Amino acid sequence: MAKLYFRYGTVSSAKTMNLLAVAHNYRKQKKKILVMKPKIDTRYGADVVQSRSGLHTEADMLLDDRSELDIQNYSGYHCILVDEAQFLSAQTIDKLRSISIEQNIPIICYGLRTDFKSRLFEGSRRLLEIADSLEEIKTTCGFCNSKAVFNLKSVDGVYVQTGPQIQLGKDETYTPSCAGCYRHRLEEAQLGITPEPKLKETPLADAP
């Protein structure tokens, strides 16, 4: 039976670049794939899946709570790739699970594990519950060389824990952070201390 995969990481951990590499490899082998993403994600265009490096591809299907995802429509595909899966509903994740079983198609979902408040997204929670394979895509903290595990949000240069859970942003809004730096930056913000410059994040094959 084909597996449902959840490949998760913080912001700037090259999740979408990983997806694009997998898509390229399947296409190079003349295999039939589908690329999906949540309809809500319009940062780079309505139907564009794009990494922060600028590499991109077109999404074949946009997903929301009304997406039918009829199992019979996916016969003959070799793989389904899903970007920003954290924004999907639990119901949509369950439909993807059914497709992977009934059509024997591997489905690889990429996304964040938690939001800037360190709380699970709905889609991520369901994937953690039912995915066959959980794989962490690692990167370093934006402030030190430890492994990043949290997503730190800033508004006008101030680190915050306020606002809606789903708030689309790019590099200027969210920073990958280790547990220590995450806590210290929020404490400094509460005290009105000006934050130090961020380091450049580095994807890791393996981090301590």
As a whole number of angstroms, the distance between CA 151 and CA 23 comes to 26
Looking at the DSSP bridge assignments, the partners of residue 177 are 150
Structure tokens at 4: 């449902």
Contacts of 58 (CB under 8 A, 6+ apart): 35, 47, 48, 49
Short-list 51, 201, 198, CA closest to 139 = 201
Q: Residues 19, 40, 47, 95: what is their CA dihedral angle, to the nearest 10 degrees?
A: 60
**Angle of CA points 194, 199, 202, to nearest 5°:** 150
Helix (H) or strand (E) holding 16: helix 15-28
Between CA 73 and CA 99 the distance in angstroms is: 9
CB 74 within 8 A of CB 34: yes
136 is catalytic: no
Catalytic, out of 84, 135, 187, 201: 84
Active site residues: 84
